[in-house]
Amino acid sequence: MNALNQLLTTLKIEANIYKNGQYCGMWAIDTSGAQRMTFHIVSKGRCYLLIDDETLEMNTGDAIFFPHDASHRISNVTHQDVPINATTTEKMSSTLNGESTGLVCGNFENNHPLFPRLLQQLPKYIHIQATQNSSSKKIIDLICEESLQIDESSSLLLNRLADCLFYALLRDHTDTTSGLFSAFSHPQLNKSLELIHKNTHQNFTLDELASEAGMSRSAFANIFKEMIGQTPMEYVTQWRMTQAYRWLADEGISTLAAALRSGYDNEASFSKAFKRIIGFGPGRARSVYKKLMNEDQQ
């Protein structure tokens, strides 16, 4: 799965826990609308998730994830008479309100244009129950335990635990029988994907990639397109642009430098491919780097 690890490293997903508190009285929340993958972990008590026509009971140690920013309602009651987002939380403390519900709320942030594609194979929501036994659940237990601490270091640790949670979530709950993730699990295709990911500057031929996978040219092209939904050459270009975005946004390198690193010998052809894959030009990607530099200097 090295190729998948390389992809995730390039995308640089970061968790942000923005709420760790307890709700008292009658309350209801909906955190959708931010265009991010959001999640809620019940650190204490009980509540209900209402989504579409479903109602799910959630108890201490349960967690819910919304890969596609789905509209939802989480409340301590099943009826919908309580106004949304009208109640503020109280801080977690060593003395907890007996009737309160503790929630850890966060999201997974990523400014890479290709990040949404990574989430396409995830369902509308993922409900992890306290009774389950998985890597994701073990990390959730650690988050619940840490959320009850009241020292300042707990905030930083919660974010880092949530970072780990995302990768465990992908491994535990992604369908690997079809789509992009299936290719990373395929013993032959994974070899060609590793070669592509490790050599962004190299201009591969279809024969070279098929040979790395130990397959005939036609068989390799057919199964690659069937599993990933792109031709091998289309994927090579997409990977190059994925890497180039990181170099432009994180390092602020010139368009020519990004072109050369990506295996292009001129800036014009690179810029055309970049805009076609990413959706905007290299200059806009570099503006992300400039914005970060300005924020650091303030």
pLDDT digit string (tens) for 283-296?
A: 999 887 777 666 55
Query: Does the predicted TM-score (pTM) go above 0.85?
Result: no
CB 74 within 8 A of CB 49: yes
120 SS3 class: coil
Q: What is the DSSP letter of 83?
A: P
In angstroms, rounded to a whole number, what is the distance separating the alpha carbons of residues 49 and 87? 17
Closest by CA to 119, choosing from 284, 224, 7, 3, is 7
pLDDT of residue 185: 78
Instruction: Give the range among 76-90, 166-180, 250-264 with minimum mean pLDDT.
Output: 166-180
pLDDT of residue 13: 80
Question: Which stretches does DSSP call E strand in the chain?
Answer: 14-23, 28-29, 37-44, 46-51, 54-59, 63-66, 73-75, 90-91, 101-109, 126-128
pLDDT per residue over 64-75, tens digit each? 999 988 999 999
pLDDT of residue 182: 77
Closest by CA to 33, choosing from 83, 91, 85, 89, is 85
Q: For 202, what's the count of Cα atoms within 13 Å in the CB-facing half-sphere?
A: 12
Torsion of CA 232, 235, 237, 238, to 10 degrees: 180
Q: Domain limits of the chain?
A: 15-173, 180-297
- In this structure, which CATH number among 2.60.120.10, 3.90.1150.10, 3.20.20.80, 3.30.70.360 belongs to the domain 15-173? 2.60.120.10
CB 85 within 8 A of CB 14: no
Q: Does domain 180-297 have CATH number 3.20.20.140?
A: no
Neighbours of 281 (CB within 10 A): 14
Instruction: Give the range among 110-114, 245-249, 274-278 with minimum mean pLDDT.
Output: 110-114
pLDDT of residue 242: 87
In angstroms, rounded to a whole number, what is the distance separating the alpha carbons of residues 249 and 246? 5
How many percent of the chain have pLDDT more than 70? 89
The average pLDDT across 196-225 equals 94
**Burial class for 109, CB neighbours closer than 10 Å (0-12, 13-18, 19+):** middle
pLDDT per residue over 96-115, tens digit each? 567 889 999 999 887 666 67
Angle at alpha carbon of residue 76, lines to 75 and 80, rounded to 5°: 55
Q: Which residues contact 141 (CB under 8 A, 6 or more apart)?
A: 61
CB 56 within 8 A of CB 112: no
pLDDT of residue 90: 83
Q: What is the DSSP letter of 122?
A: S
Closest by CA to 71, choosing from 124, 4, 115, is 124
